Amino acid sequence: MSHPNLLAGIETCDDAGVYKITEDLALIQTLDFLTPIVDDPYTFGQVAVANALSDVYAMGGNPLTAMNIVCFPVNDMDMAILHDILRGGLEKMREAEVLLVGGHSVEDPELKYGLSVTGTVHPRKLLLNREARSGDLLVLTKPLGTGIINTALKAGMAPGELVRRATETMAELNRKAAEIMKDFTVNACTDITGFGLLGHACEMVDGGDTGILIHSSEVPVFPEIREFAEMGILPGGLHRNRKFRISMVEQGPSCPDWLMDTFFDPQTSGGLLVSVPETDAVLMAKRMNEEGLQYASIIGEVSDEPKGIIRVL
Amino acid sequence: MSTTIDARGLSCPQPVLVTLEAIAEGSADRLEISVDTDTAVENITRAVKSKGWAVSGVAEKDQCYVVTVVKE
């Protein structure tokens, strides 16, 4: 599908669709919905909204309006649960200064909640996945491991305090990171979600003229997940992600197997992965740390060689 | 001694947990675990390695896998 005004569509792996309305205004559209990943309905609503809005932030845009998407087992579940989910979602939209303008609900045996989101961006400020340049450094803004923690929770093995920290991370908007990003030269950006760090990094360079080096020891992860990863408490999505992209990835001897697994862990509402020229990257990561994004770190670099390959050192 | 475990139909991460239980129980030095997902095979491989065991074979049969693991 192509059109002179279509700036990002289904052909690329970008995070949202983008349509240019005028020379200085483009429309961003995206939708995302989830099955519950936390037990508390209010918190689930918050995470689902943070997750749905993230795609707009990852395109360099501002989310403006949203509509609820609700699938709910009306006859089998207490309506109070739905009210709490919607309340959590609305609270997160208020925090993001996004207006809820409608929605749609259907009866479904499995609960799901999310948003359709509309935002805007100046066409020249639009950030695509695939414009990372050789010499850029890569900044990741949230720690990895929420998929593994969720699997450990199902196994009854995750400590409550770890679950609380992971949930807080998932419910955190990528808004502040996106706002800070606007003060620096940014060449490319995506958010880390279902394909994991390496899956999304692969999208940045697949078939292109650049490759990526990841410094595994610099990547922020929840430290407690090492034990779970080594014990094989890993979600199915992690193995699917690995199988899909392993031909594009080289694991160096200094990266342990558990960490390599973690880099394929599917994330819910993960951080932004931002490709920034070296000087700006250092300043940007520092500024993010100073403004409360404690995990934001420079995790790697974009290189001329090996083209289309992620090398994990 | 060899023990057989049927973990088919169990969702992730249950196959790993029943395998680790059997290892912790301590009477067997060889387990044959039947599972029905790739994920379970991958996860059991990691789980037994962390306990000093190893996968000696994976046989695929009727859309199921029999994973044989031995104490090293």
Task: Say if the Cβ atoms of A234 and B17 lie within 8 Å.
Answer: no
What gap in Å lies between CA B35 and CA A273, rounded to an integer?
36
Chain B residues in contact with A232 (beta carbon < 8 A): 13, 16, 42-47, 50
- Is residue A33 left, alpha or beta, with left meaning phi > 0 and alpha meaning psi from -120 to 50? beta
Of A155, A239, A261, the CB nearest to B13: A155
Distance from CA of A255 to the nearest CA of B (A): 16
Chain A residues in contact with B52 (beta carbon < 8 A): none
Is residue A13 over pLDDT 80? Answer: no
* Radius of gyration of chain A, Cα coordinates, nearest whole angstrom: 19
User: CATH 3.90.650.10 in chain A, residues?
Assistant: 137-312
Tell me what the mean pLDDT of segment A55-82 comes to. 96
Our count of domains for chain B comes to 1
In the CATH scheme, what is the code of domain A137-312?
3.90.650.10
* A242-290 pLDDT per residue, tens: 999 999 999 999 999 999 999 999 999 999 999 999 999 999 999 999 9
In the numeric block, which tokens belong to residue B64?
């199921």
Query: What CATH number does the domain containing B39 carry?
Result: 3.30.110.40
What gap in Å lies between CA B60 and CA A231, rounded to an integer?
23
Q: What is the ipTM for the molecules in this complex?
A: 0.90
* B13-69 pLDDT per residue, tens: 899 999 999 999 888 899 999 999 999 999 999 999 999 999 999 999 888 999 999
Distance from CA of A148 to the nearest CA of B (A): 10
pLDDT > 90: percent of chain A: 93
Superfamily of domain A6-125: PurM-like, N-terminal domain (3.30.1330.10)
In chain A, the residue whose alpha carbon lies closest to the alpha carbon of B20 is: A231
What gap in Å lies between CA A211 and CA A214, rounded to an integer?
10
Contacts of A112 (CB under 8 A, 6+ apart): A33, A34, A35, A69, A70, A71
Q: Which helix (H) or strand (E) holds B38?
A: helix B38-50
Q: Residue B13: is the preceding peptide bond cis (ω within 30°)?
A: yes
Block residue for tokens 């936390």: A38
Task: Say if the Cβ atoms of A239 and B50 lie within 8 Å.
Answer: no
Distance from CA of A82 to the nearest CA of B (A): 26
- Residue A270 contacts residue A191 (beta carbons within 8 Å): yes
The residues facing A63 across adjacent strands are A119
Using DSSP's 3-state secondary structure scheme, residue A256 falls into coil
Structural domain of residue B46, as residue ranges? 2-71
Chain A residues in contact with B43 (beta carbon < 8 A): 232-234, 239
For chains A and B, what is the number of CB pairs under 8 angstroms? 50
Q: Tell me which DSSP letter residue A209 carries.
A: S
Taking every pair of C-alpha atoms in chain B, what is the biggest distance, in angstroms? 30
Helix ranges (H only) for chain A are: 41-58, 79-95, 146-154, 160-171, 175-181, 196-205, 225-230, 236-245, 257-263, 278-290
Q: Which of B46, B49, B53 best tests the A interface by mutation, with the highest count of A CBs <10 A? A: B46
* A86-96 pLDDT per residue, tens: 999 999 999 99
